[in-house]
Amino acid sequence: MDSIIEDIRVRKILDSRGNPTLEVDVITWNGFGRAAAPSGASTGAREVVAFPAGGVDKIIGEVEDIISSELIGMDAEDLNEIDLVLKEIDGTENLSSIGGNTTVAVSMATAKAAAASYNMPLYRFLGGNMPNEIPYPLGNMINGGAHAGKNAPDIQEFLVIPVGAENITEAVFTNVNVHKKIRELIQAKDTSFTGGKGDEGGWAPNLTSQEALEIQFKACQDVTDETGVEVKPSLDMAASEMWDPDKEVYVYKREGVNRTTGEQIDYVEEIIDTYGFYFVEDPIREGDFHGFAELTRKVKGRCLICGDDIFVTNKEILQEGINKKAADSIIIKPNQIGTLTDTYQTVELARNNKYVPVVSHRSGETTDETIAHLAVAWGCPIIKTGATGGERIAKLNELIRIEEEITDPSMGRIEKYR
């Protein structure tokens, strides 16, 4: 009886861009769970629909009562059944009726309520007694593309990962050191820089991608030398945002350069080798499994090639990528697929095929910390989130707390995927 759902409440809250999103409370006889849904700016075409026509207000006005009437009285511990009921309420393949942000917020809040019903943290409830790995934080340093203004770099995210960190506190503060160092280097390059930031807390400078790459690389080297913690540069290129389907080229507007698919593959391989990138996300447009496979083959063992828009946390699409050897890592965003059950199935498929699962925030975030627990529960060796900003540090600070609770914690074992 402890985990029987007694009430569900839905409210409209702000995300980090000031847009409305959903927060859901699930109350059981002996527990309480709260979760909020994020939103993306650079989204995959095959993601589930975030909100139905009418947006958040329609959900609160019309959908809340329907969900409550179906779920009240069910056992929050039976997450699979809860998620099936949510998909049945929606009745569409892409969750366009009630929205993936609605289903994911309810799904996560229900899991948290079930965990609380048994006085357990979420990572322990979902992962059992086994979790002892803390993910490396993949921190956003410079924003460009859809996450920044028109004079920012074409590449969407310049990231770093502190692969030499021995614990999460050292990792988090190493990323912050790089973030501060990058601001110094940007200001040395452009004295008019005012410290503006993009959607995810990275700096939004008036630089070309090439200038940003050089600054990112130097900052990683400087902080590695100063702290003794090795930091490696990484990227999210969001190549789908640059793809011109009519001309069939990748358009780098800021640089005034167009690249064919072959030239894009050569370019990415060149910068991986030049700057020693550890991880590159979405270097090829979504849908181009052949391009992804070719690049993955060329840099295998030197750099992780990660798919986000191409896979959208969907196990069927991931299986297609596995069959074609496209990428060797996958971004995991629960609201791309709509439920925790479906998210977990994708993570399991990735792990079983040695694809590195990277649990990720979104550009329009909330202070919800659920993804920190998911990364630990499911043994994901990397978590992608910003280095600064309240909605980003909510996840990082939660990881610091989780590490305190774990007996003999270790940082994510990325090498087991090699």
Tell me the catalytic residues: 200, 333
Which are the contacts of 105, defined by CB distance < 8 A and separation ≥ 6? 10, 22, 23, 24, 35, 36, 37
Cα–Cα distance between 204 and 184 in angstroms, integer? 13
Here the tokens at position 42 are: 């650079």
Q: Label the pairing between strands 279-281 and 232-236.
A: parallel
Q: What is the 3-state secondary structure (H, E, C) of 97-150?
A: CCCHHHHHHHHHHHHHHHHHHCCCCHHHHHHCCCCCEECEEEEEEEECHHHCCC
Distance CA 23, CA 149 (A): 29
List, edge to edge, every strand of the sheet that includes 20-28: 5-14, 20-28, 32-36
* DSSP secondary structure of 296-314: HHHHTTTSEEEESTTTTT-
CA distances from 88 to 67, 94, 117, 335, 346 (A): 11, 12, 26, 17, 20
Cβ partners under 8 Å of residue 315, min gap 6:
342, 345, 346, 349
Q: What are phi and psi of 152, to 5 degrees?
A: -80, 170
34: β partners: 25
Alpha carbons 139 and 56: distance in angstroms, whole number: 30
Would you state the structure tokens that stand for residue 75, as one six-digit string?
A: 């056992």
Radius of gyration (Cα) for the chain, nearest Å? Answer: 21
